[in-house]
Chain A
């Protein structure tokens, strides 16, 4: 590069300039910065959000709060408690603690993912995690049913207890399905609601079946 050999800085022109970056106006995030608040505030805020969603599931009204601020804490807690309660319900006590927990976990999450994909493929307007959130929270009535079943089974395992359990589980299953349908079916075109409701029905049916056929050893 013969031409470049001539390029040089002349000593007469001083090289100077600003090296400080001008501080811009306060970004709006600074007002909502949650890094400085005490830990108790953060936890209480999250717990309140989770609690509000539980209330929404118990009284399913068409509100968008459950969908807008989705979170997966509630589904995780419900899933783990349901899986723990369903343990130890088989004849072989030496090796069946593991598969029961993994079974329930996999069924719930795999089933929820499949239903979400299905509703998205059918033209739904709901996002992936919103749908997971709704389906997970609507497992709550079935967790309550599991608790009731365990208490009833403590009293005895006869025909009467089976009938009670059947009624309770059936009612909770209907509640779960209706609750999740109230949230999810709205995001579909009106003539395809049945196509979305059927997999949800099947999903909660399988979970209810696992709860109903649970017999502790």
Chain B
């Protein structure tokens, strides 16, 4: 007499993939065939909210909906967990926990080489100061490029400035961290970023002065003194954290070379003095006071050649 029975026929469901429901479905295949006509007649007659008495067609749909719903919920939960884990800026919050006094002190300290290299020197793992210094360097670079009427063919002035400064900070830090890992130095990535970032303070001062006062010899003096001081500080800190002569030599040599060469590059690639060099390079055919904007790659390769020749001559 019963209208329909609550037999679950799993065999005809689309979303069973090797589940044990199929066995149960086989067991009740006979019953399903008997009552299929009745169930189809009843499914249209009125479906209740309660899933048990919906008949086979309705039940299949209901279960499918539930499974799909569960999958959606599970996926959403996983995605929101991953998002809150990786896109959470609170990860970076401890690195920005500084006072203005501390930032000022660290800026000044970055120019003073430490004397004690037998004891590992403390490096503050802070990212506010380095980040602000990189942005300041970008601003100074923009100023230098604008005053020298630099024309960038592919890309924009801003893009070049940001790319150069951030590329140096992040790229050289990663490379030095990798070298430090190879040479067994005790330094973490954040500390490396912080050390290199504060080393840019010397660069900022030098470029700020020499982009406004155009004396060739003044730049070289600043390069040696200011650049040298900040390099010495970074080198001393690294030496205090590394054991072994070869390792110390590798690490400090690489850092010193990259740091000083970057300052040289920034000055020569983006500055008016470039035009003076080109004038002398092209000989008596060029009138000496012609200010012509040049393409950057041509200029920098010409400068590199001159510098290499000059260095080869002096050695």
Contact = CB atoms under 8 A, between A and B. Distances in A.
Contacts of B99: 191-192
A199 B132 contact: yes
Contacts of B293: 91
Given A121-B92, A199-B135, A205-B139, A102 B156 contact: yes
Q: What are the 7 tightest A-B residue pairs by CB atom distance, in nearest-first order?
A: A8-B2, A121-B96, A99-B156, A194-B100, A103-B156, A213-B146, A103-B158
Interface of B: 1-8, 24, 28, 31, 46, 48, 52-53, 89, 92-93, 95-100, 103, 128, 131-132, 135-136, 139, 142-143, 146-147, 149, 151, 155-159, 293
Contact of A195 (B28, B128, B135, B136): B128
B3 A9 contact: yes
15 contacts: A1-B7, A4-B7, A7-B5, A7-B6, A8-B4, A9-B53, A10-B1, A103-B158, A118-B96, A121-B89, A121-B93, A195-B98, A195-B103, A198-B132, A213-B147
A106 B142 CA distance: 15
B2 A9 contact: yes
A202 B2 contact: no
B237 to A, nearest CB: 24
Given A8-B5, A195-B100, A15 B158 contact: no
**Binding site of A, secondary structure by majority: helix, strand, loop or mixed?**
helix
Nearest to A4: B6
A156 B103 CA distance: 45
Contacts of A1: 7-8, 24, 28
Contacts, number: 82
Contacts of A123: 93, 97
Contacts of A4: 5-7
A11 interface: yes
Given A5-B7, A198-B132, A209 B2 contact: no
Given A192-B99, A205-B139, A11 B1 contact: yes
Nearest to A7: B6
Q: Interface residues of A toward B: which range?
A: 35 or more
A202 B89 contact: no
B157 A122 contact: no
A107 interface: yes
Contact of B136 (A91, A202, A213): A202
A9 B159 CA distance: 75
A7 B128 CA distance: 71
A205 B140 CA distance: 11
A90 interface: yes
